[in-house]
Amino acid sequence: MFPAGFDYHAPNSLAEAVQLMGNLGPDAKVLAGGHSLLPMMKLRFAQPSHLVDLRRIAELRGIRQVGDEIHIGAMTTEHELLHSPLLADKVPLLVEGAGWIADPQVRYKGTIGGDISHGDPGNDHPALMLALDASFVLRGAQGERTVKADGFFLGVYSTQLEPGEILTQVRVPIPAPGTGWSYQKLKRKTGDFATAAAAVLLQMKGGNVATVSIALTNAGPTALKASGAEASLLGKPLDEAALDEAARQAMAICEPTPDLRGDVAYKVAMAGEMTRRALQAAHARTGQA
Ligand SMILES: Cc1cc2nc3c(=O)[nH]c(=O)nc-3n(C[C@H](O)[C@H](O)[C@H](O)COP(=O)(O)OP(=O)(O)OC[C@H]3O[C@@H](n4cnc5c(N)ncnc54)[C@H](O)[C@@H]3O)c2cc1C
């Protein structure tokens, strides 16, 4: 299948890209890794008149520590996340998450910015971003704004990005030392999207849950923050009863779409099971299990 015709633009700087997007209007789309956009264009689900390729823009790449945050350029690839010593040290949840995405070929081209901007509830970064309480820097002709991941994802393929705006950077607070982490994902085969997945960050104090963050992938029209499950755990030991209740609370917010990966009941049950497993794995990594 071939996409409809389009004009191709390859700016060398972010300023040039923002100006192009402003001038070209709503029929223009930015091209990052192309692993979601090009299939959609071939299927004619998307027919942009202009593609603005971000690949030449060096300032959109890279992973660096700035104070108590990690800043990641939107064009940083999944492969780069997976092999980043800085992330392995400071935000290992992101390394584990990147390892679950697609396959090495897709990870070599697919970008963190594209994964987030696409607004696909099956993508893994949205839930990772919710769990990490990340923020996104968005740049458009009107200027720059920073928005929280929580609230950014509005629906299937829908985010707070306005036409012409470019996601330039992802900002992730560095979890405190002793924070356990885990991303547990059920998928049918290598390269598949999640049937269901759960991201967890966890801190224990005196044998009880001190802080916990839980987010779900592919369990609804967007990534979901499992706030009820989080609240149910605070101040308690992470025993079987607590895990049961957290899984029950997580399942209660799920509204998955049935597809070849499973019907609604199966997907909801798997979201609960991934929550349970992620909590257990994160607990073991706190060093206080
Ligand atoms: C076989 C296969 C398996 C996959 N499995 C998984 C998986 O398991 N988990 C997962 O998370 N993903 C998976 N993906 C998707 C993959 O991670 C994509 O790379 C990702 O969804 C989009 O990133 P991209 O850089 O390719 O963006 P593109 O495809 O280039 O762009 C996607 C959309 O985002 C917009 N966009 C891109 N970058 C920006 C930006 N900086 N600012 C504003 N808008 C932007 C584009 O205009 C487009 O609308 C899979 C893809 C394939 C082909």
Place of tokens 């206080």: 288
Instruction: Please tell me whether residues 169 and 185 are part of one structural domain.
Output: no
Looking at the predicted structure, is the pLDDT value of residue 204 above 90? Answer: yes
Is the pLDDT at 289 greater than 80, yes or no?
Answer: no
pLDDT score of 190: 87
**Nearest atom of ligand 1 to the alpha carbon of 37:** 29
Please indicate whether residue 1 or residue 162 has the higher confidence score (pLDDT).
162
Count of structural domains within the chain: 3
Q: Which of 117, 144, 173 is the last residue of a domain?
A: 173
Shared domain for 158 and 186, answered yes or no, is no
Residue-wise pLDDT for 248-257, tens only, equals 999 999 999 9
Q: Are residues 87 and 164 in the same domain?
A: yes
Please indicate whether residue 132, judged by its CB atom, sits closer than 6 Å to ligand 1: no
If pLDDT is split at 50, 70 and 90, which confidence band does 168 have? very high
Position in ligand 1 atom list of the atom nearest CA 166: 42
Q: Please indicate, yes or no, if residue 2 is contained in any of the structural domains.
A: no
What pLDDT is stored for residue 1 in this prediction?
79
Please indicate, yes or no, whether residues 74 and 166 belong to a single structural domain of this protein. Answer: yes
d(CA 270, CA 58): 40
Confidence of residue 114 (pLDDT cuts 50, 70, 90): very high
Amino acid 262: pLDDT: 94
Mean pLDDT of 74-96: 98
Please give the distance, rounded to the nearest whole angstrom, from the Cα atom of residue 5 to the centre of ligand 1.
Answer: 21
Mutate to test the pocket of ligand 1, among 8, 27, 115 (most ligand atoms within 8 A of CB): 115
How sure is the predictor about 97, in pLDDT bands with cuts at 50, 70 and 90? very high
Find the range with the poorest average confidence among 3-7, 224-228, 273-277: 3-7
Q: Which domain covers residue 231, as residue numbers?
A: 180-285
- Give distance in angstroms: CA of 123 to centre of ligand 1: 8
DSSP 61-77: --EEEETTEEEEETT-B
Average pLDDT over residues 125-133: 98
Does residue 66 share a domain with residue 149? yes
Which CATH number do you get for residue 45? 3.30.43.10
Residue 47 lies in a domain: yes
Atom in ligand 1 nearest the alpha carbon of residue 111: 25
Which residue among 173, 193, 218 closes a domain? 173
pLDDT above 70: percentage of residues in the chain: 100
The domain that contains 140 carries what CATH number? 3.30.465.10
Same domain, 161 and 192: no
Q: Are 33 and 131 found together in one domain?
A: no
Query: Does some domain include residue 28?
Result: yes
**Pair (169, 65) in one structural domain:** yes
Instruction: Kindly state whether residues 259 and 169 are assigned to the same domain.
Output: no
**Mutation to probe ligand 1, out of 21, 31, 37, 146 (largest number of atoms < 8 A from CB):** 37
The CATH number assigned to the domain holding 208 equals 3.30.390.50
In this predicted structure, the answer to whether residue 71 has a pLDDT above a threshold of 80 is: yes
Probe target for ligand 1 pocket from 40, 106, 109, with the most ligand atoms within 8 Å of CB = 106
How high does pLDDT run on average in the chain? Answer: 97
Q: Give yes or no: residues 29 and 123 share one domain.
A: no
Average pLDDT over residues 96-104: 96
Q: 43 lies in a domain? A: yes
* Shared domain check, 165 and 69: yes
In 3D, which of 73, 60, 46, 55 has the Cα closest to residue 10? 55
Cβ 123 under 6 angstroms from ligand 1: yes
Domain's final residue, options 122, 144, 173: 173
Collect all residues with Cβ–Cβ distance below 8 Å to 2 and sequence separation of at least 6: 42
At 284, is the pLDDT very low, low, confident or very high (cuts 50, 70, 90)? very high
**Does 199 sit in the ligand 1 pocket, CB within 6 Å?**
no
One domain, residues 70 and 169: yes
Q: Is the pLDDT of residue 205 over 90?
A: yes
Distance 116 CA to ligand 1 centre (A): 7
Q: Is residue 1 part of a domain?
A: no
Q: Are 50 and 9 in contact (CB under 8 A)?
A: yes
Q: Is the model's pTM score more than 0.95? A: yes
